[in-house]
Amino acid sequence: MHLRISGHKTKGVKSLNAEGKTALLFLSPSLAGFLLFYLVPFFWGMYYSMLSSPVNGKFVGISNYLDLLHNEYFLKAALNTLLFTFLSVPLSLVISISLALLLNKNIFGKEKLRTLFVTPLVVPVASVVLVWQVLFDSHGSVNYLMNQVGLQPVDWMNSNWARLVLIIMYLWKTTGYNIVLFLAGLQNIPSQYYEAAEIDGAGTFKKFTSITLVYLTPTAFFVFIMSIINSFKVFRETYLIAGAYPHDSIYMLQHYMNNMFTSLDYQKLTSAAFIMAAFIFVLVFALFRIERKISSTLV
């Protein structure tokens, strides 16, 4: 996912050449749908977020956004979402790199083991909701085990511990995807690099830090971006387990937006969505910039 945006623009091309016309033909179904269901709604939504009310509203500029920044629930949801992302994404990266390194070693049944790690990716969230419920209910199995070893039971879903439960569910779901990407990244590192380092007398640790980690950087960036995007989707799990109004610590931006939709407060919903979109945009853009800088020093 490396985008080259051509700096120079072909000037004054009014009429398309033959290839351009063919391209338009091939693109037309996609373009029509993209315009109708994505691009037009996008700008319409942006305009909406600047009206005072959905029906006969006046243009009020950014006042809806300013209102949100003083809204207790929005702030709570935004903070929870950020906190979750900042905790879970680095954890996911470390765990999946470690597992990919182990899987890349000389082991028995390599392919079969990888399959087991990828399986959670294809298991529908709704199918395993019951399992999470049985595990993390206040009368659930985890508490049973804790009780057995003499620990105080915890009300997992109705305390700050809910964050941990969410992180576990997120890691369970996304680690397989990341492992596959990291394995591909590892296999793309030429073995000559390691051989050359060995001749220079580099130890295992040195080889890991100066070859493996360095050449995994592009992969890691992509995994990082995808993990962040996926971390915003953890709402689905939360919603399925804890409903529209979960414990305060896991009340996410999507809960807020969902509840604004149900209470017909479209202004708040749209403004909140655009704040989130702007955040994602800035983050992805910044990461691309950094990535390009780092990979240009690699070659």
Partner 1 sequence: MKLLLKAISIGNDICKNLKETLKHNLRKLLTTFILLFIAVIFIFPLIFTITNSLMSEQEINSSYSMVNSADGSVRADLAGSYAKLKFIPDIATIRQYYNVLIKKLQFLIMFWNSVKITIPIVFGQVLVGSMAAYAFSKLKFPGRERLFFLYIIVMLMPFQVTLVPNYIISDKLGLINSFLSIIFPGVFSTFGIFLLRQFMVYIPNEYIEAAKVEGANHFIIFTKIVLPMTKAGIAALIILAFIDNWNMVEQPVIFLQDVNMHPLSVFLSSINSGERGIAFAASTVYMIPMLLIFLYGEKYLIEGIQLSGLKG
Q: Which of residues 222-241 bind partner 1 (CB under 8 A)?
A: 222-223, 229, 232, 235-236, 239-240
Site string for partner 1, 237-266 (x = CB under 8 A): --xx--x----------x--xx--x----x
Q: Please tell me whether residue 276 binds partner 1 under the rule CB under 8 A.
A: yes
Answer whether 227's CB lies under 8 Å from 174's CB.
yes
Residues near partner 1 (CB under 8 A), total: 106
Phi, psi (rounded to 5 degrees) for 7: -75, -40
Q: Do 36 and 51 meet the contact criterion of CB atoms below 8 Å apart? A: no
Name the 3-class secondary structure at 53: coil
Among 68, 92, 97, 117, binds partner 1 (CB under 8 A): 117
Q: Which is nearer to partner 1, 61 or 109 (CB)?
A: 109
Site for partner 1 in 133-152 (CB under 8 A): 133-134, 137-141, 143-144, 147
Q: Which residues pair with 51 in a beta bridge?
A: 59
Question: Minimum Å distance from CB 39 to partner 1?
Answer: 7
Structure tokens at 152: 């105080």
User: Could you tell me which stretch among 26-34, 61-69, 196-204, 207-215 binds partner 1 (CB under 8 A)?
Assistant: 26-34
Angle 238-243-248 (CA atoms, 0-180°, nearest 5)?
Answer: 70
CA distance 28 to 283: 31
From candidates 122, 149, 199, 298, binder to partner 1 by CB under 8 A:
122
Cα gap 251→81, rounded to integer Å: 8
**Size (the chain), residues:** 299
Q: Which of residues 187-226 bind partner 1 (CB under 8 A)?
A: 218-219, 222-223
Segment near partner 1 (CB under 8 A); pick from 14-22, 61-69, 71-79, 203-211: 14-22
Distances (CA, A) of 94 to 120, 123, 210: 18, 23, 17
Q: Are 89 and 80 in contact (CB under 8 A)?
A: no
Q: Does 77 bind partner 1 (CB under 8 A)?
A: no
129 binds partner 1 (CB under 8 A): yes
* Shortest separation between residue 143's beta carbon and partner 1, angstroms: 5
In whole angstroms, how close is the CB of 123 to partner 1 at the nearest point?
Answer: 5
